[in-house]
Chains A and B, each alone.
Chain A
Amino acid sequence: MVHVKINGIPVEVEEGSTVLYAAKKANVTIPTLCYHPDLKPWASCGLCVVKQEGSAKIVRACATPVGEGQSFITNDEELFKVRKTILELMLSTHPSTCLTCGRNGMCELQRLAAEFGIREQPYEVRVKKLSRDTSTCSIVLDPTKCIKCGRCVQVCQDMQGVFALEFIGRGDNTVMAPAAMLKLDDSPCIKCGQCAAHCPVGAIFERDETESFRKAVADPDKHVVVQIAPAVRVALGESFNLPAGTITTGKIYAALRRLGADKVFDTNFSADLTIMEEGTELVERLSKKDSVLPQITSCCPAWTDYMEKYYPDMIPNFSTAKSPMMMQGAMTKTYYAETAGIDPAKIYSVAIMPCTAKKFEISRDDNMQASGFNDVDLVLTTRELARLIKSAGVDFVDLPGEPADSPIGEYAGAGTIFGNTGGVMEAALRTAYHSITGKDLKNVEIDAVRGMDGIRKGIVDVDGRKVRVAVAHGMANVKSLMEEIRAARDAGAEPPYEFIEVMACRGGCISGGGQPYASTDDVRSKRIAGLYEDDRESEFRCSYQNPSIQKIYAEYLGAPLSEKAHHLLHTSYQERKVYKH
């Protein structure tokens, strides 16, 4: 431990801590812009400058480690002026189109400009007009608004291992773009949207499709059916100043009805359905000789896209089960349409997702029209739903909760934890245990697969059968696992794991690219706690116990992996080029 003073306040921090961290411990907030707790300090913006007593130098707090006995000043007139000048210079190259910007009211630069009381523009304004990249259906890149903080590049390369974005060019002419100035859609981009979630300004944002929703509910010929993903319920509240992790499921159902939805279902139902299919697939693979192991989860569309580009040789390992969202879409336009006597051609199927890649998933291949129609017509992110609710004047915070509609709305606790890292694995193991042993698992909370480590490995005891499992989240973490599996396979050795769960985003879907801004590990852990609480409070904890699931198999699907289930609930994968051109 080292002892330092921040503005005269003594604090004790671990060796190697930065000035920024020490200041936080002293309840001092140093303004930052390029810094993000998820990323290594990049020190590009210079806003966090501080003075070290006894030194003439001004240093950047985010990248400067403290030493024993050092003393720092984080705020005085000179530092204020330096910071204000930095902001004024940034504003001189930044369009002042805040009112029509996607980040209006949630922009870190806008907030700082307000906090520093910037009222004039002392420098000549030189805003470069650069064209937007609207090539993907998930995210939009607007380089005109880029402040060159570098967060998106770091996220794309270090956190996600995707390498779609890079600093292209030099100095004032630098842009964050794919290699060869290709469009994002031609690049390795997996549409995870983590760049958009980390961008401090409006340079990268989700494609806004709220208008399509408003048009659909206004159309009397359309029967609008909405599903909400697990992770949405513990994050949407943040957009209404509720604490992170607050479970708002009932309020969301109610709000969607007020927005004009005809039926409100829950993706969690189909998360249970996914478990029935994927869990049965796992049990089959585990019990049959010479089957391809490990089985790898496939419900994350960004991961599926990544695998098809970077690990196409792993296609046989992928579970053929579709994601819960796509299963829900297929069940909406088949099972629900039939039981309710509604023409599926009139159903408009909407999914509220924490994820920008889900916008891509609905049209990724022909398997996404298993019902004969688009199984899902529209994907809106949590942030888009928040805007819809606000603009429609729905008093979300005080809205009394309502239940979901039947027959594809009820869920077990296993379905809800799909939204966090380790959750799909845990949910699958609960059902696999039952399939293998015929018994209910006594303690359904499988601690071995919980937690926030980027890669977690464990052995789960299924009534004497030891199942080797691994969980990875944050796309870059998947590399070492995949290489381990490849090495064993190529050597003809036994696979190091039998079941692997992968989620592209750190913490899982709860911090997906479409969730409310400012996801940090603190916020992530609160949202995860919310989902585990939702699970604990569920009447049924395991997917096979969900009465609606039992009903859909009895009345419609037959059994897991039946021919009908295969047609509607399973998919296939194809190798994709890393660069299209």
Chain B
Amino acid sequence: MSVQNEVEFSPELMAYISEWKEKQGNLIMILHKVQEEFGYIPREAADKVSELLDVPLAKIWGVVTFYHFFKLTKPGEHNIQVCLGTACYLKGGDAIIEALHKHLGLDVGAVTDDGKFSLEAVRCIGCCGLAPVMTVSGEVFGKVTKDQVPGIIDKFN
């Protein structure tokens, strides 16, 4: 199978792929690493993984679209995660999403036009005591009220 569009993989990623190439469960492990490098799974990268592992692109797409973890679109410069796990949901996680929509015009799974922010809904990030929780670029904000949302976002703007 020929690669349609060229894409550069870092030496670390290439080393990881050689290490995992023959092992069972290689595809998911390698896709994890690809997402770590690019922030998502670009089509070109999927083509390259297909070539390197001799796995049809269709199979890769099946895996990538089956697991929520994998993303097919490039996340914003700052990725926002809003927890909708049981505790956060009950404490008003959806109000945070609503506030983000109001403030940034952002829907779940979307990226702002300027590429600055993206929004995803997640299930539990392991600090239920702080519910409701959101993270921006990995920084955790607890007991968030909808009025605090614009202030939090402005810190990153």
Binds A, one of B61-69, B75-83, B96-104: B61-69
Q: Which residues of the partner chain B approach A165 to less than 8 Å between Cβ atoms?
A: 58
Instruction: Given A168-B65, A169-B65, A180-B43, decide whether A578 and B2 contact each other with a Cβ distance below 8 A.
Output: yes
Q: A310-B1, A577-B2, A577-B4 are in contact. Are A163 and B58 (CB under 8 A)?
A: yes
Q: A163-B57, A163-B58 are in contact. Are A170 and B1 (CB under 8 A)?
A: no
B42 to chain A, nearest CB (A): 11
B63 nearest CB neighbor, chain A only: A166
**Contact across chains for B60 and A179 when beta carbons are under 8 A apart:** yes
- Least CB distance from A24 to B in Å reads 32
Please determine whether A179 and B4 come into contact, CB atoms closer than 8 angstroms.
no
Give A187 to B56 CA distance when docked, in angstroms: 11
Q: Which of B4, B47, B61, B66 contacts A170 (CB 8 A)?
A: B66
Task: Say whether chain B's binding surface is mostly helix, strand, loop, or mixed.
Answer: helix
Let me know if B66 and A166 touch, CB within 8 A.
no
Bound complex: CA A169 to CA B64 (Å): 8
Number of interface residues of B (CB under 8 A): 15
Whether a CB of chain B sits under 8 angstroms from the CB of A553 is no
| CB of A581 within 8 Å of the partner chain | yes
Q: Do the beta carbons of B58 and A178 come within 8 Å of each other?
A: yes
- A163 to B54 alpha-carbon distance, docked (Å): 12
Q: Which of A125-181 contact B (CB under 8 A)?
A: 157, 163-170, 178-180
Q: Using Cβ atoms and an 8 Å threshold, which residues of chain B touch A167?
A: 62, 66
Instruction: Find out whether the CB atom of A166 lies under 8 angstroms from the CB atom of B4.
Output: no
Output the least CB separation between B46 and chain A (Å): 8
**Residue B59 lies at the interface, judged by CB distance under 8 Å to chain A:** yes
Contacts of A169 in B (CB 8 A): 65-66
Chain B positions within 8 Å of A310 at CB level: 1
Closest to B62 in A: A166
CB of A373 within 8 A of chain B?
no
For window 282-337 of A, CB contacts with B under 8 Å fall at: 310
Nearest CB on B from A271, distance (A): 33
**A168 neighbours in B (Cβ, 8 Å):** 61-62, 65
Q: Chain B residues near A80 (CB, 8 Å)?
A: none
A324–chain B nearest beta-carbon distance, Å: 31
Determine how close the nearest CB of chain B comes to the CB of A335; give it in whole angstroms.
40
- Across the interface, which residues of A come within 8 angstroms of B47, CB to CB? 579
Interface string of A558-581 (1 = CB under 8 A from B): 000000000000000000011101
Give the complex CA separation of A310 and B57 in angstroms: 13
* CB atoms of B58 and A578 under 8 A apart: no
Using CB atoms, name the residue of chain A closest to B61: A179
Chain A residues, CB < 8 A from B56 = 157, 163, 179, 188
Smallest Cβ-Cβ distance to A578: which chain B residue: B1
**Nearest chain B CB to A313's CB is how many angstroms away?**
12
State how many angstroms separate the Cβ of A178 from the closest Cβ of chain B. 7
From residue B25, how far is it (CB to closest CB) to chain A in Å? 19
Report which residue of A157, A167, A577, A578 has the largest number of chain B beta carbons within 10 angstroms of its beta carbon.
Answer: A578
Question: Is A179's CB under 8 angstroms from B58's CB?
Answer: yes
Task: Give Cα A168 to B154, complex, Å.
Answer: 37
Taken together as a complex, chains A and B put the C-alpha atoms of A578 and B47 apart, in Å, by: 11
CA distance A167 to B63 in the complex (A): 9
Contacts of B1 in A (CB 8 A): 310, 578
Inter-subunit contact A166/B2 (CB<8 Å) = no
A169 to B68, CA, bound (A): 9
- Give the shortest distance, in Å, between A4 (CB) and chain B (any CB): 35
B109 shortest CB reach to chain A, Å = 13
User: Whole-angstrom distance between the alpha carbons of A165 and B56 in the complex?
Assistant: 11
Considering only residues 32-60 of chain B, those with a C-beta below 8 Å from chain A are 43, 46-47, 56-60
- The answer to whether B65 touches A579 (Cβ under 8 A) is no
A180 to B66, CA, bound (A): 13
Nearest-neighbour CB distance to chain A for B103, whole angstroms, equals 29
Chain B residue with minimal CB distance to A581? Answer: B4
Q: Is B65 touching A163 in the complex (CB atoms < 8 A)?
A: no
Residues A166 and B43 in contact in the complex (CB < 8 Å), given A310-B1, A577-B4, A579-B4:
no
Q: Known: A168-B65, A169-B65, A169-B66. Is A163-B59 also a contact (CB below 8 A)?
A: yes
Residue from A166, A170, A581 within 8 A of B58 (CB atoms): A166
Residues of A contacting B58 in the complex (Cβ-Cβ under 8 angstroms): 157, 163-166, 178-179, 187-188
Q: Which residues of B contact A170 (CB under 8 A)?
A: 65-66
- Residues 529-551 of A at the B interface (beta carbon under 8 Å): none
For the complex of A and B, the 6 pairs showing the least CB-CB separation, nearest first, are A163-B56, A179-B61, A166-B58, A166-B62, A179-B57, A163-B58
Q: Offer 16 A-B interface pairs, CB within 8 angstroms, sorted by A.
A: A163-B56, A163-B57, A163-B58, A166-B62, A167-B62, A167-B66, A168-B61, A179-B46, A180-B57, A180-B61, A188-B56, A310-B1, A578-B2, A578-B4, A579-B57, A581-B4
Q: Which residues of B contact A (CB under 8 A)?
A: 1-2, 4, 43, 46-47, 56-62, 65-66
Known contacts A157-B56, A180-B61; 20 additional CB pairs below 8 A are A157-B58, A163-B56, A163-B58, A166-B58, A166-B59, A166-B61, A168-B61, A168-B62, A169-B65, A170-B65, A170-B66, A179-B46, A179-B60, A180-B46, A180-B57, A188-B58, A577-B2, A578-B2, A579-B4, A579-B57
